[in-house]
Amino acid sequence: MRIVLIGYGPVGARFVEEVLPLVREGRARLTVVGAEEHEPYNRVLLAEYAVGRADRERLELGDAEAAREAGVVIRLGQRVQGIDRTRQLVRLGDGTTVPYDRLVFATGARANIPTLAGLERPRIGRAAARADAALDGHSAGLPDGVVVLRDLADADTVRAAVRERRRVIVLGAGVLGMEFALAAREQGAEVVTVYHGDAPMERNLDAGGGRMLAAAARAAGVIMTSHSRAESVVLSTSDDGHRHFDALLCADGKQIDGDLLVLSCGVAPRVELADRAGLAVSTGILVDEELRSWSDPDVYAIGDCAHIATPVAATDQRGGGSTVAPGQHPRVTGAPSGLIGPGWRQAAWLAGVFAAELRAGERPALLPAERRPVVMLKAEGVSVCAAGELGADPWASEPGVEVTQWVDPARGRYATMTTRDGVLTGFVCAGLPRLAAELTLLFERGSELPPDRSALLALDGSAPGHGALRSASPDDVVCSCNGVTGRAISHAIACGSATVREVGSATRAGTGCGGCRDRIVALLDQAAESVADVLPAPVG
């Protein structure tokens, strides 16, 4: 089986890793086409790389060398010019063609460029093959000092600016924007975050969570500029004719000066190539729950470019002619999740399907529908985490729905938990890291919350093991090696044991690891004092 994979990002790399055994067994031949010159890297950590907190090595993913040794053909720095689905050929930029039996798209997503005066916004050209390149990252025709943060080239630009502690403006306060802003600030850059809403991460947090995050970011030294709709960029032109970013202008007339503008305005799946090949696309490349294109049974999509939906005309797809008309399906609901976890699961699952086919084994069970994702801000010292339904009203009396809140702005702590019939269906959590971790597990498993929600809040309490909440009792075990209580030791002392050794002989306390001897001494001292209290003071 000849498999061609388009895209060698994190999801593509995982797919290669999973298919490798089939390549080694000689059952599959795999060709990988990657547009970037680099070996695959972990895009999730790109912001950390961009601020200088992670080095290039840490971003490495997958073992391209091992794949090559196994016989995988990896073509880096190559763009796919076109796909001939009738003859099952992929045409590359250098004019060569690669035949396939199965074609897998893992083309991912690209950063959105907002409409700002002064920025040329590349049009999405359906026809021009070169438009792909023009649309992507660093080569997007942006002026110097304006970047998106999507690939290594972008990250290198940002890295230089942060290293020189320049003034960085971040446009957009979504998860990625906030993560970058906090990390850049931590590394010493001056950071201004500009967003037009009331609070950061509005898509992921409720009002309380957003306020907590804004406060935490301000406390970390990020200048948070809310209610600001960016309209244009101010550019200066240097002597050699290069235009360089100088300032951002907002609708209310505010001018925000800076050395670097980082655009963090969301991403969009790369679908142009699939679209030109006549495959059904909507927000992403339309595939069924088996990750198979609506339009072609030999074509698959995984990761950020894959838009999983039930085909609108779900008749026989295998019978040669497609019953779904090619072209845009703008009204298909849903979208790629934009998260790495589902992409990796899809990569592993699809490799399993191919393996089952080639080894005549059992097909893996269908991937379960992804739960709504848990969003967790990656930032040192700022704990913000949320998932599921937001903004339910604690006072509304919808049957079965309960909302519990904890609001403590002075200490930066906030939590909202929503349950339906006792099962956690949404939460927002700030400044309560242990609670956030537990709610994540409860949410992902679809578990019930305890009726006493305060038991969960106690997880972040200051008392280790809630010890401070419980006063010492004589029935507490003092010598754990021998299970001897304070009461038993006091009894031995009352019966005449006067030293640690004698207490040990009488009760075995202190005869194991010896860690409790100080406490036995304290009990002996206490007993001596109480005896002294009742004895007459020595005379003279």
Partner 1 sequence: MDRVTTATHCPYCALQCGMSLGAPAADHPGIPVVGGRDFPTNRGGLCKKGWTSAEVLGTPGRVTRPLLRGADGRLAESDWDTVLDLIADRLRASRREHGADSVAVFGGGGLTNEKAYQLGKFARLALGTSRIDYNGRFCMSSAAAAGNRAFGVDRGLPFPVTDLDDADTVLILGSNVAATMPPFVAHLAGVRERGGLIIVDPRRSATAALTDDGAGIHLQPTPGSDLVLLLGLLHLVIAEDLVDHDYLAERTSGWEGVRRSTAPWWPEAVQARTGVPVEQLRAVARRLARGRGTFILTGRGVEQHVDGTDTATAAINLALALGLVGRPGSGYGTMTGQGNGQGGREHGQKCDQLPGYRSISNPAAREHVAAVWGVDAATIPGPGVPAIRLLRELGEPGGVRCLLVHGSNVVVSAPDAAAVRTALERLDLLVVCDFVLSETAALADVVIPVPQWAEEEGTMTSLEGRVLRRRRALDAPDGVRSELWILRELAARLDAPSVWSTEPSVVFDELARASAGGLADYSGLSHELLDTGVAAYWPYPTGSTGTPRLFLDRFAHDDGRARLVPVRARAADDPAQRDGVLTLITGRLLEHYQSGAQTRRVPELQDAQPIARLQIHPATADRLGIADEAPVEISTTRGTVRCVSQLSADIRHDTVFLPFHYAGAESANLLTEGAVDPISGMPEFKRTTVTVRPVGGVR
Which residues make up the interface to partner 1 (CB under 8 A)?
42, 44-45, 48, 53-55, 57-63, 66, 340-341, 344-345, 374, 376-378, 380-381, 383, 422-423, 433-434, 436-438, 440-442, 444-452, 455-456, 458, 464-467, 480-483, 508, 511-515
- Provide the token pair at 527: 């007993």
How many beta carbons lie within 10 A of that of residue 379, not counting itself?
Answer: 22
CB of 383 to partner 1, least distance (A): 7
Give the shortest CB-155-to-partner 1 separation in angstroms: 16
How far, CA to CA in Å, does 503 sit from each of 479, 494, 529?
11, 10, 17
Q: State in angstroms the smallest separation of the CB of 27 from partner 1.
A: 22
Report the nearest approach of partner 1 to the CB of residue 468 (Å): 10
Concatenated DSSP letters of 31-90 = EEEESSSSPPB-GGGHHHHHTTSS-HHHHB-S-HHHHHHHT-EEEET--EEEEETTTTEE
Instruction: Decide whether 336 or 431 has the Cβ nearer to partner 1.
Output: 431
Minimum Å distance from CB 458 to partner 1? 8
Residue whose CB is less far from partner 1, 141 or 361? 361
Residue number, 320 or 368, with CB nearest to partner 1? 368
The distance of closest approach from Cβ of residue 331 to partner 1 in the complex, given in angstroms and rounded to an integer, is 33
CB of 466 to partner 1, least distance (A): 5
By beta-carbon proximity to partner 1, the closer residue of 126 and 203 is 203
Distances from the Cα of 466 to the Cα of 432, 455, 458, 459, 463, angstroms: 16, 11, 8, 9, 5
- Give the residue with the Cβ less far from partner 1, 407 or 455: 455
In this structure, the number of other CB atoms found within 10 A of the CB of residue 91 comes to 15
Quote the least distance from Cβ 483 to partner 1, whole Å: 6
From the CB of 421, what's the least distance to partner 1, in Å?
A: 9
Alpha-carbon distance of 287 to 307, in angstroms, equals: 6
470, 474, 475, 476: CA torsion to nearest 10: 50
The answer to whether the CB of 129 falls within 8 A of the CB of 136 is: no
- Crossing angle (nearest 10°) for helices 175-186 and 207-219: 20
Using the minimum distance from each CB to partner 1, give the nearer residue, 227 or 466.
Answer: 466
Return the number of the residue (34 or 143) whose C-beta is nearest partner 1.
Answer: 34
Residue 230 or 436 with smaller CB distance to partner 1: 436
Which residue(s) pair with 33 in the sheet? 6, 75
CB 345 to partner 1: min, Å: 7
Q: In 3D, which of 9, 5, 31 has the Cα closest to residue 108?
A: 9
Q: Which is nearer to partner 1, 190 or 444 (CB)?
A: 444
Q: Hey, what are 250's tokens? A: 């907002």
Q: Which DSSP helix (H) or strand (E) runs through 392?
A: none
Q: What is the DSSP letter of 103?
A: E
Alpha-carbon distance 287 to 277, whole Å? Answer: 15
Quick one: tokens of 28?
């599959």
Count CB-CB contacts under 10 A for residue 67: 23
What φ, ψ does residue 354 adopt, rounded to 5°? Answer: -65, -40
Q: Minimal distance in Å, beta carbon 369 to partner 1?
A: 15
The pair of three-digit structure tokens given for residue 470, joined into one six-digit string: 């419980």
Cα(320)–Cα(176) distance, rounded to whole angstroms? Answer: 43
Write down the least CB distance from residue 233 to partner 1, Å.
33
- Nearer Cβ to partner 1 (242/470): 470
Please say which residue, 238 or 462, places its beta carbon nearer to partner 1.
462
Cα–Cα distance, 461 to 469 (Å, whole number): 10
196 with 224: CB under 8 angstroms? Answer: no
Tally Cβ neighbours within 10 Å of residue 345.
16
Of 280, 267, 271, 411, the closest CA to residue 339 belongs to: 267
44 vs 133, beta carbon nearer partner 1: 44
3-state secondary structure of 480: coil
Q: Is the dihedral of CA 209, 212, 218, 221 positive or negative?
A: negative
